[in-house]
Structure 1
Amino acid sequence: MPTPAPHTRGSRAGAVLRVTSGNFLEQFDFFLFGFYATHISRVFFPAGSEFASLMLTFAVFGAGFLMRPLGAIILGAYIDEVGRRKGLIVTLSIMASGTILIACVPGYQTIGLLAPFLVLVGRLLQGFSAGAELGGVSVYLAEMATPGRKGFYTAWQSASQQIAIVVAALMGYGLNSWLSAGEIGAWGWRIPFFAGCIIVPFIFLLRRSLQETEAFQARTRRPAAREVYRTMLEHWRSVIAGMLLVAMTTTTFYLITIYTPTFGKSVLKLSTQASLVVTLLVGLSNFFWLPVGGLVSDRIGRRPVLLAITVLAILTSYPALSWLAASPSFERMLLVLLWLSFFFGMYNGAMVAALTEIMPEKIRVAGFSLAFSLATAVFGGFTPAISTYLIELTGDKAAPGYWLTFAAVCGFLSTLVLYHGRGAWSVAGKASGPMHSSR
């Protein structure tokens, strides 16, 4: 990949802000859907029991992730063909449409079955867009990174999402302080969604001023979408291995952010304020550890970081959640989730850069996006629903730890496979050639 031309520190910081702004909107809305799941379930998915209603809500939440692989293939190929800037404006447009739709749909009592159907459509639009958004942003950051700093730059893709978590948690805390539970359930939960709609024009302005990466401009030949599809089929092993690599990070993220408020309120019976404060602090913790993970992987390599964190997760995830479930409290919940936040930040900081490195150049966005989207669809997106089901099935409040442990095993094994016999690849930024070239 050609080395980008020199930029000032300020211009690079501005480029990071512009390209990651869409990630902020995506995660802001996703978090709101998870946090207000109990209210959304009553408004759009009334059922015979709270469990059934909540499961329907999380199923619709997860359905959006099933659209991610399709978005990754179609929009990812489009971005690889026309460029990062144009493609990311398209993904933002689709994402904004889904966000506005969910915010404005009347409840089931007003329009009947059309209400849950429209919410589902909004989630599908968001999922379709997000399928290529993450890949497009990550590849853009990787291509603009200074030599030896790719891990640090790509970490800001996910770091921007943590700002969204913090802002959403602060808004939720404010609403719970100013409004009664009845007011929040009736209409107050929509206020943060409308706030997300209001910032859409500002994010569009940021994205429109984005410059194309020099690495993409330097290409002498740009593959058509059909060629991108064919290349992805040829390198399906890289995509599957990449999916398993992402499993650990996407499962951990949705467990400690999207599912945390519901877990704290419905399972541990802690107060709404306590769950919100924990979520806010987890977002701040993620924001700290992500660039640290990227920097460490730039210094010692991706492989050592990925292996060390997955081993820690395998050994401690379920015991930590069991300790929390044995005597639920704000302090214990905070300590456990900060521990899981450390896992997520360090692993993801190394993983995103690694994933941009294992994909062939001509399908860098599409391949990255498909691997990430498949992992999110199979593992992360359904984490709230699977966690809810496991707790109901086993009666064990720590049961989500089983799911997280399984995801960590997938991450551990995929790291061993991807880096087996690849000495050059164990030192970040010094790869002698693309890993996909060998089976």
Structure 2
Amino acid sequence: MTRHSATLAVNERLQAKRNAGEEVLHLGFGEAGLPVPPGAAEVLARSAGHNAYGPVAGSERARRAAAGFFDRRGLPTDPDRVLFAPGSKALLFGLLAALPGGVVLPQPSWVSYAAQAALLHERIHWVPVPAEAGGVPDPDLLERALVRAEADGQRPSSLVLTLPDNPTGTLAPPDLVRRVCAVAERHDLLVISDEIYRDLATGELRSPAELLPERTVVTCGLSKSTALGGYRIGFARLPTGELGARLHEELLGIASEIWSGLAAPMQDVAAWVLDDPAEVTEHIAASSRLHRAVAGAVHAEFRTAGAVCREPTAAFYLYPDLEPLRPALAARGADTGPAVAELLLDRHGVGVLAGAEFGDPEHALRFRVATSLLYGETPEQRRQALHSRDPLALPWIRGSLDNLRAALRDVAG
């Protein structure tokens, strides 16, 4: 039986508690939590009459804009190797469907990768992430896992990476990406590099497409950097060479039978955003500053409470480990990650997602924290947060941090 998406389920559960008049601290849903750039809304309004079917891959204008987007980020791209879809989730599912044979996933990794592989009855090969960052498997453990899989006749066909990473909120350093790509090349894996958070990264992002241009697909979208989650705009950059050409045809066939094409008005929005006008680049810069400030403050609260947690270097996620607090948590009956998540929700109205949802063992006291819904409950509060020189001083953000501190002090005993 296919389960409801964990991220959507926790969002709906918290909304129901809020509708019932309960106070909640929503740290469970990875929505960017910011207003739509005004220019994007204006383009959408002007495009409302565009109701004709278009090419499955997307309009020439949208594909050229996406190619330019990648070009300016160091990935020269042919517009004919770009494909749009209603969200990057659809593209990821299409790619897994086009690549039978099993998939390698970092452990932990975004909830939908494993769920989509399960829908396709694909074997999942989990490989733990290294200490430095999430989003990529430990290269030494990856090598060993692939050797074992091949010896057992279970050779996977693809490897999914997330740069920057959801759920850990970190960016794998270039040398680590190089080592992982070297293993992937030796074992003939196609790399799917999910880079939907790339414009929200701190530090150097080395895309696998730079290292393995003939065997890397890059997926991206506008849900995170420009807060257009509800617009459902995703796009992919397919590899160069013969493999890329075959995969392009296969993915076009899958797309034509499932989603037909991205809605024409959304393609117009995409073309405008992906041209990187000043309004968009300024919006992304402001949102990055806000994400860093709030995620850094939440990180400090967890560290003060005694949790182990990587420092956030991208987007708006943290992945704290409460193992040092296990005795106090066990005394409250919370000796697994899901039990800790339930304790925080039931006792304090704090919503997080247990690490088990991301492929971690249930006994691990880890969970994902999304900080982006702390920016405000109204469009005006979110606009103030986006443009504030000191967002941590805003009363609603400061109040949320105070509530989190109190909850962590309580569960820490």
Task: Give the TM-score, by structure 2 length.
Answer: 0.29
* Bigger helix share: 1
Task: Give the TM-score, by structure 1 length.
Answer: 0.27
Higher RCO (CA 8 Å, separation ≥ 6 residues): 1
